[in-house]
Chains A and B, each alone.
Chain A
Amino acid sequence: MKLLLLLALAAYAPQHAGTPITPELEAKAHTIGKTIRCAVCQGLSVADSPSPMAQSMMDRVRELVTEGKSEAEIHAYFVERYGEWILLEPKAEGFNLIVWVLPFVFVGLGLAVIARNTAVSEDARQAGPAPEAADDPYLKAVRDRVEKS
């Protein structure tokens, strides 16, 4: 299956690249290309977009992969030119941590509120009716009438 995928990807390799690259490098370039935003598209990666700009960017990814650059180095190359905006998934560091952490904080907070309210109502159930409710003359009158009828 993996071999079939590599062969399928390799079929597209020499289309835009100046020099054909091996199926392994093409697969790596494709994986990295999936994480880089096409500068002229709406939410598409350079690996998925057919636009000339995306093709140029994908060719550059292929060249950098062929030069032996790592995914981090290739990301750094594009960030240096287009800013962090160019990465489809922001890095989980610095200010970006808010985006990653905040949903978990909200979920945790919600669970804490639910747990607290559940514990309070359980305590109330075990403690029986509130003393003021037991002494309420109106409720006492209602109970007496119900018992008599």
Chain B
Amino acid sequence: MKINWSLVITGLVLAAALAWVLGKGFGRDPHEVPFMLTGKPAPAFTLERLDGAKGEAKLADFAGKPLILNFWSTWCGPCKIEHPVIEWGFGKFGDRVQFVGVVYQDSRENVDAFLRESPPKYAMLFDENGRAAVDYGLAGVPETYFITKDGKIRYKHVGPLDPSRLTQEIRALLEDAPK
């Protein structure tokens, strides 16, 4: 039997292309949400303050120092576990880094009750309809953005932070080390 090599090679090339496409798709973690804003300027926001200071706060109000932007909610269990870690980080690095909490899609009553029980030590803002969250490419709470002093997103941490990871990322942020 005569083999048609051009047909065989064409078939193999097409099968390899298909295998590569499928491999690329199946190779990634299906739960991982891509994040494309690393290295890009942090999106501007104007949000209501919840920390006792009246009125609204803008991203520009926090310019000049590295910024840690922590999105959380009172309905999120891991956020409550993370909360003391962020407060600990503020106590240790608060003189060199700014900490801002952003309450994401929550009821005002629940937030007020939580903050009465645990008054915020750092700036606390309210993103009621989640507009800032979507601008930042949020995929859930808690998520924490490490923003350089020149306003670029260096790293986004998904899930609750532990003290060692927070320390590691703050040190890298202070050294402005490339990610």
Contact = CB atoms under 8 A, between A and B. Distances in A.
B130 A81 contact: no
Given A56-B133, A102-B18, 10 more contacts: A18-B129, A40-B33, A53-B139, A56-B129, A56-B130, A59-B131, A79-B36, A82-B36, A109-B11, A113-B7
A138 interface: no
Interface in A34-87: 39-40, 52-53, 55-57, 59-60, 63, 79-83, 85-86
A55 B34 contact: no
Interface in A11-37: 16-18
A79 B136 CA distance: 12
Interface residues of B, number: 24
Contacts of A106: 14
A79 B129 CA distance: 21
- Interface SS of B by simple majority: loop
A114 to B, nearest CB: 13
A111 interface: no
B10 A39 contact: no
Contacts of B138: 39, 53, 56
Interface residues of A, number: 27
A56 B105 CA distance: 8
A88 interface: no
A82 B33 contact: yes
Interface of B: 7, 10-11, 14, 17-18, 21, 33-37, 105, 129-131, 133-140
B11 A59 contact: no
A119 interface: no
- Interface SS of A by simple majority: helix
Contacts of B17: 98, 102
Nearest to A17: B129
A98 B34 contact: no
Given A53-B140, A81-B36, A81-B37, A102 B134 contact: no
Given A81-B37, A102-B21, A60 B134 contact: yes
